Chains A and B, each alone.
Chain A
Amino acid sequence: MLLELEDLEVRYGAIPALKGIGLEIAQGEIVTLLGANGAGKTTTLRSISGLHHPTRGRIVFDGTDIATMAPHDVMALGVSHSPEGRRIFGRMSVMENLEMGAYRRRGAIRKDLDRVFELFPVLGERKRQPGGTLSGGEQQMLAIGRALMSEPRLLLLDEPSMGLAPLIVREIFSIIRQIRETGTTILLVEQNATQALRLADRGYVLENGAIVMADEARRLLQDPRVREAYLGEAAAPST
């Protein structure tokens, strides 16, 4: 397993956000984490990348327990986080944003820049433009591009579809599929359950800080409980 969470508990003060969850991702997989607002999806990602430290449990990345590591150390191991709400550097140019993504690396980044511009041609057209002047979809592309610049083995994507038009969402999801094809493992947090499950190999469903379902994505897509809770369908009539 590339990443394993064991009995992970995270608290904000007295309030538990994650109540002992377990999760596994194998090399090369796309795994999606579904759930409503406040279920603990973002907290899970932030714990993996070291922005929160768990009160209990282990986070094992490629054999190393990273639960108590600082974010920059986790990143150095090959975990990259595209945070919720994009958080690009609005006043840096597109190019500078991408360079920031490669901050931990020494040596040439030309190849990775080319790869990002190949995945997102629109970024190549706007190299000199301040990040904050891009459209929402372009900013999301920049956030993903920036995360890719550190040559991650595991890419954490927090709601890349947030606030974007359906057409753009489809484009971004198809790019995520391309990223996986180059060998990067992906943990995708989403509210847009249909799209995420069509893309992912496996999925987990979080509710109130606990995992309530874990299965292959296409089975979750068929599951009446998932369909009812996250795909906005009425429960299938039982004949």
Chain B
Amino acid sequence: MTAAPRRGSALRRLWTSEDARRGFACVVGGLVLAVMTGPEGSSTAPTSGFTGSLFHARVIGFIVFGLVLWGLITVRRRYATQVRAFSDKVTAAPRRLLPDKRVRAVVYLAVLAFAIAYPATLNSFWQEVLVDQIGVYVLLAIGLNVVVGYAGLLDLGYIAFFAIGAYSAAYWTGALPIHPPFHLNPFYAIPLAIIAAMLAGVVLGAPTLRLRGDYLAIVTLGFGEIIQIVATNLQGVTGGAQGVIGIPHFSIHLLGIHYDWGINSLPYYYLLLGFVVLVLFGFHFLENSRVGRAWVAIREDEVAAESSGINVLKYKVMAFAIGASTSGFAGMLEASKISFVEPADLTVQLSILILVLVIFGGMGSLPGAVVGAAVLQWLPQYLRVHPLLGFQQQDIYIYLGALLVVMMIFRPEGIIPSRRRKREIGLAEHGVGHADALSGQSGPVA
């Protein structure tokens, strides 16, 4: 036995003590929170954001917050078995009942009834948020979920297809500088916008999906940029940087019934809800079909999938095109709702945001994509109306980033994981396979 090193041994013992380290992390977290919620810096006093938060009486509150958090964590750990027993008891009934198909149908119907009844009671601001910020993004997220979650393809240019859908809507309804052979009601432009986005998906996917993993991400990233730049600069066709205005609203003129969706959000909400439910049914069916099984195999091991007789390229292109057409559909709906498209909105950041919604909700899980998109899109709006601790809208990406980091540490499978993904991540922790989105592509090529 060698004697323990004398110098700094007390400090070292403190540092190697799990409790002390956790406490340190909590206090640092509190300090970060203090800076995040403190006064803004400015170009004349760039450090004032730090000095104003850290050398100010309010910092004490945040340190206390960190210590209280530490206390709570420590108590929870000390009584971990009791806590687990309690939470098991609470969740026992739902866990027993949820696998039952009838129970789940009832839950879904209840959610649907709520989704139909509740929005009518909201004011127009929240109704608008419900369509422009939530509904459209839910549709986008469930589309990207097919690409990323089911097939394991990383698409970083997803918003390009949204743009293609939106500009198709503008073209067929006659809002672009170039005119179609005949003007269509937005309803009839839906299939054309979907087909345009799907074709773009196939044309981009067929050559590039032969590539594996990271290459696809780079190609799609480039594609997203190209579409935005083309939309900005092809003035004579797209109307250029100032965008397109005057895309007509949805309307029905059938058998003497005339209805115009107009400028209120609520009618669009119900239209969107109908489409989302339809798409959800379709994707749920796909997930559990032969096609869905092929996607799982490709995600796991492309070579093995190929050896099992799966036409890997075909199914990858299919997933990509389905995602693209959903994005195009969303773009079409949104363009008609706000009767406006602007290239400056179609940034790569938006593509990444949608990816975040899918990862947050739980890759490969439809309820996850819906809830992930709804929660993450609702939260910033809520904080804008009720600014908590000096929340500022422009900082939103900092918070979302932090939230994702925390999620990846404590719940990498997302808030409502698919059963399969959960198993995959569980097994990866025990050294079987890998848990990343691109696992199917990262296998060695012999």
Inter-subunit contact A90/B308 (CB<8 Å): no
CA A49 – CA B307 in complex, angstroms?
Answer: 8
Inter-subunit contact A91/B420 (CB<8 Å): yes
Task: List B contacts of A87 (CB < 8 A).
Answer: 301, 303-304, 307, 443
Task: List B contacts of A92 (CB < 8 A).
Answer: 296-297, 300
Q: Is B423 an interface residue (CB 8 A)?
A: yes
Of B290, B307, B310, B446, most buried by chain A (CB within 10 Å of CB) is B307
Inter-subunit contact A130/B432 (CB<8 Å): yes
Interface residues on B, range: 20 to 34
CA A61 – CA B300 in complex, angstroms?
Answer: 30
Task: List B contacts of A198 (CB < 8 A).
Answer: none
Q: Which of B252-294 contact A (CB under 8 A)?
A: 290, 293-294
**Least CB separation from B306: chain A residue:** A71
Known: A89-B297, A91-B427, A103-B294. A83 touches B304 (CB 8 A): yes
Interface of B is mostly: helix
Q: Which of B298-321 contact A (CB under 8 A)?
A: 300-301, 303-311
Task: List B contacts of A96 (CB < 8 A).
Answer: 293
**Least CB separation from B420: chain A residue:** A91
Shortest 9 CB-CB distances between A and B: which pairs? A132-B432, A75-B309, A104-B309, A87-B304, A90-B433, A72-B311, A71-B306, A100-B308, A91-B424
Q: Is A164 an interface residue (CB 8 A)?
A: no
CA A85 – CA B303 in complex, angstroms?
Answer: 11
Inter-subunit contact B309/A72 (CB<8 Å): yes
Task: List B contacts of A146 (CB < 8 A).
Answer: 308
Inter-subunit contact A89/B307 (CB<8 Å): no
- Say how far B297's CB is from chain A's closest CB, in angstroms: 5
- Say how far B409's CB is from chain A's closest CB, in angstroms: 22
CA A80 – CA B300 in complex, angstroms?
Answer: 19
Inter-subunit contact A71/B427 (CB<8 Å): no
- Say how far A113's CB is from chain B's closest CB, in angstroms: 15
- Say how far A153's CB is from chain B's closest CB, in angstroms: 14
Task: List A contacts of B301 (CB < 8 A).
Answer: 87, 89-90
Known: A90-B427, A133-B427. A42 touches B446 (CB 8 A): yes
Inter-subunit contact A133/B310 (CB<8 Å): no
* Chain B contact residues, CB within 8 Å of chain A: 290, 293-294, 296-297, 300-301, 303-311, 420, 423-424, 427, 432-433, 443, 446
Task: List A contacts of B306 (CB < 8 A).
Answer: 51, 71-72
Task: List A contacts of B311 (CB < 8 A).
Answer: 70, 72
Known: A72-B306, A132-B427, A146-B308. A91 touches B432 (CB 8 A): yes
Task: List B contacts of A147 (CB < 8 A).
Answer: 307
Given known contacts A87-B304, A90-B301, what 14 new A-B pairs fall within 8 Å (CB)? A51-B306, A71-B309, A72-B310, A80-B307, A82-B307, A87-B301, A87-B303, A87-B307, A87-B443, A88-B304, A90-B300, A104-B309, A132-B433, A133-B427
Task: List A contacts of B308 (CB < 8 A).
Answer: 75, 100-101, 103-104, 146, 150
Task: List A contacts of B307 (CB < 8 A).
Answer: 49, 51, 71, 75, 80-83, 87, 147
Inter-subunit contact B300/A130 (CB<8 Å): no
Inter-subunit contact B446/A90 (CB<8 Å): no
- Provide 24 A-B residue pairs closer than 8 Å at the C-beta atoms, listed in order of the A residue: A51-B307, A72-B309, A72-B311, A75-B309, A82-B307, A83-B304, A84-B446, A87-B307, A89-B301, A90-B433, A91-B423, A91-B427, A92-B300, A99-B293, A100-B293, A100-B308, A101-B308, A103-B297, A103-B309, A130-B423, A130-B427, A130-B432, A132-B433, A150-B309
